[in-house]
Amino acid sequence: MKKVTRFAMFLLAGALTTGLFSCSSSDDEEVLQNDLLTEEQQNNLKKVESDANSNAEKTAMGKVVANYLEAVIKPTYQDLANKADKLYEACQNLYAKRKAKTLTQADIDAACEAFKDARRDWEQSEAFLYGAASDNEIDPHIDSWPLDHDQLVKALNNKDVIAGINGNNPVEYVYNAHKDFDSVIGFHGLEFVLFRNGANRKLSDFMSENEKENGLTSVKTVNEAAFAAAVSGDLRNMTYLLEYGWLGSGAAVSHQNQLAKSMWVIKALRNKGLSPKGIPYRDYVKSAGTDKGLFPTWHETLQNIFVGGCSNICEEVATQKLGQAYRTATGTGTKDDAANYIESPYSKRSFQDYQDNIYSIKNSLYGVRGTENISTPAANSIMTYLKNKGYTKYNDLNNALNEAINALEKAKKSGVAFIDKPGDPQVKTCIDKVDALNEALNEAGKWIDMQADE
């Protein structure tokens, strides 16, 4: 069973194209020589970016949207890509040392920390899955669950798979051949290799010849390490695509260089990873009201942030991520609910994931990252705009945000992991608080949709 993805209310569409780019410059400001974007195209995109910035600066709503893009989306995807680099490096180290039989617990712990760092930024990006993540189907590619143990056993006992993940280009192999092991790639395949029962995997388990997990004892641990190394490279490439999709040639040059070496990543992407207009999603959103814009008005753009972005993930947390296992455990489920539909069960970080999803919403509305420690919205934030315009339910929305976060914080600190007791009353409290936030988001979205552009 694959992760349920409730797509944004406005799905972006585009024709399939192919392309490969290469880069020789080490300066992000210089023109990149590539086959994906010619020098002329890059210069055109610079003009598009300038025009989009000017367009956003003309109106109060445009300035709010521009701040959301520049202060929240841009740094989130930049940090995610950088942390995916670290995760890839840690997994390469883990495999090399496991193969050489020199692995230490510190090596495993380093990979686990790198995983958690990247995971946090991914979960805090889920309030803006519309755009590059949904158009290019990156979300289901790197974040599907539950992991199918039988599929993993079959894959890691298949001589072709073993040859592929130990071949000349394991990352390419994972991307092109994963249809037979699609539930075990991405974050959750890595989570299974690195964590067990809520803790970092022990050195003694990793250095054992074979897996000790029930049902997986035919799997060799060195092959698990090879699998993690290959999967982490595929995950890294997908985060580069997110960064490139939103920022275009403004993405880190080193990341563009890696994509230039990865023809398999971009050869079948919609619009070579950019928006349907052939421009970065940042400029696509900033161009509201023009022929290059995602929406014809600024109020529709803001309304999509509330509903297509924030409400979308809020509803998923309440009804699916928390809801399926809770309903099954309490006997209130349907045939569509599954008891094992639990995100991050091996690290037991489910409540952390869900809280980070809500922080993704709070960051978006507050117009700043790091709202774990910030209680005042930015000057050009959505929340400040609502307050200044006299939105009568401002306090309801703000309180709902904080109450949802606090309920998940309490669950995190309870000592009872979601995987261990999905029917616990604290889960129902979390569901109720996240549901209340979802209602508040939709109310604000309706109010925004009735406003005239200004």
Provide the angle, in degrees to the nearest 10, between the axes of the packed helices 74-100 and 105-123: 160
Same domain, 238 and 332: no
- Neighbouring residues of 101: CB distance < 8 A, sequence distance ≥ 6: 207
Q: Which of 286, 315, 349 delimits the end of a domain?
A: 286
pLDDT for residue 35: 56
**Nearest in space to 21 (alpha carbons), one of 236, 263, 271:** 263
Same domain, 121 and 230: yes
In a domain, 7, yes or no: no
Same domain, 76 and 220: yes
Same domain, 184 and 282: yes
Give whole-number Cα distances, 257 to 129, 172, 244, 287, in Å.
25, 16, 11, 28
Q: Is omega for the bond preceding 345 within 30 degrees of 0, making it cis?
A: no
The residues facing 200 across adjacent strands are 195
User: CA–CA separation, 287 vs 299, rounded Å?
Assistant: 13
pLDDT for residue 410: 98
- Neighbouring residues of 123: CB distance < 8 A, sequence distance ≥ 6: 352, 353, 356, 357, 360
Same domain, 124 and 187: yes
pLDDT (tens place) for every residue of the chain, 454 residues total: 444 433 333 333 333 333 333 333 344 444 455 556 678 878 888 999 999 999 999 999 999 999 999 999 999 999 999 999 999 999 999 999 999 999 999 999 999 999 999 999 999 999 999 999 999 999 999 999 999 999 999 999 999 999 999 999 999 999 999 998 999 999 999 999 999 999 999 999 999 999 999 999 999 999 999 999 999 999 999 999 999 999 998 899 899 889 888 978 888 787 889 999 999 999 999 999 999 999 999 999 999 999 999 999 999 999 999 999 999 999 999 999 999 999 999 999 999 999 999 999 999 999 999 999 999 999 999 999 999 999 999 999 999 999 999 999 999 999 999 999 999 999 999 999 999 999 999 999 999 999 999 9
pLDDT for residue 7: 35
In a domain, 25, yes or no: no
Same domain, 121 and 247: yes
In a domain, 5, yes or no: no
Amino acid at position 327, single letter: R
Full-model pTM: 0.92
Residue-wise pLDDT tens digits, 287-328: 999 999 999 999 999 999 999 999 999 999 999 999 999 999
In a domain, 161, yes or no: yes
Exposed/middle/buried for residue 244 (C-beta within 10 Å: 0-12, 13-18, 19+): buried
Centroid of chain to Cα 226: 24
**Total domain count for the chain?**
2
Identify the domain containing residue 268 by its residue range.
52-286
In a domain, 425, yes or no: yes
Provide the CATH number for the domain around residue 435. Answer: 1.20.1420.20
